[in-house]
Amino acid sequence: MLFLAAATTSSGSSFSLLLPLVLFAGIYFLVLRPRANKAKAAQAQARLAEVGDRVMMTSGMLGRVVRMNDETVAVEVSPDLVLTFAKRAISRRLDETDPLYVAFDPDNSEDEVDDNLDEEPNDDFHEKSEGSSNEGDVK
């Protein structure tokens, strides 16, 4: 009897049935579709890279492609340092107008070293941590 009463009274409208579909469509067009397009663009960039191109890897590492095969790419990240990556790890190919293209110059022989690294380490941290050490406090 209660089942028949519930079936005859409709408390919802067609809008309540349409709301989940509209939300899913919104999420699809605002989140899922752009993410898929970005992934396709990254794959296209990896296919366009050639030997001699400057590239940025997905890790943010910059380098110049020195060798390629179907699956891997060898990237020179500094003079005499060549790393091998999966080809799909190429995030984008850098062109001459890209600021990262100018920033990365593997042929630059001048070593830019931070002068502060040559100083003695600051022992303030070690002095503070020695006083608060719990070594030997066995109970």
CATH code where residue 72 lies:
2.30.30
For 6-34, how does the pLDDT look when each residue is reduced to its tens digit (9 = 90+)? Answer: 455 555 577 788 888 899 988 988 988 99
Closest by Cα among 55, 127, 119, 58 to 93: 55
Residue 55 is inside which H or E element, if any? Answer: strand 54-57
What is the predicted pLDDT for the residue at 115? Answer: 47
Is residue 134 situated within a structural domain? no
For 62-106, how does the pLDDT look when each residue is reduced to its tens digit (9 = 90+)? Answer: 999 999 998 999 999 988 899 999 988 888 888 887 778 776 666
| Calpha distance 139→129 (Å, rounded) | 21
Is residue 83 situated within a structural domain? yes
Is residue 131 situated within a structural domain? no
Q: Which carries the bigger pLDDT value, residue 52 or residue 2?
A: 52
Q: Count how many domains the chain has.
A: 1
Is residue 46 situated within a structural domain? yes
62-68, strands of its sheet edge to edge:
81-86, 72-78, 62-68, 54-57, 90-94
Is residue 93 situated within a structural domain? yes
Report the amino acid identity of residue 99: P
Strands 62-68 and 90-94: unpaired
Range of the structural domain that residue 96 is part of? 18-109
What is the predicted pLDDT for the residue at 109? Answer: 45
Closest by Cα among 74, 73, 82, 90 to 106: 82
Instruction: Judge residue 23's burial from the number of C-beta atoms within 10 Å of its C-beta, 0-12 exposed, 13-18 middle, 19 or more buried.
Output: exposed
User: What letters, b where the CB count within 10 A reaches 16 and e where it falls short, cover 78-93?
Assistant: eeeeeeebebebbbbb
Is residue 1 situated within a structural domain? no
Cα 133 → chain centroid: 38
Is residue 133 situated within a structural domain? no
Instruction: Judge residue 106's burial from the number of C-beta atoms within 10 Å of its C-beta, 0-12 exposed, 13-18 middle, 19 or more buried.
Output: middle
What is the predicted pLDDT for the residue at 92? Answer: 84
0.75 surpassed by pTM? no
Is residue 8 situated within a structural domain? no
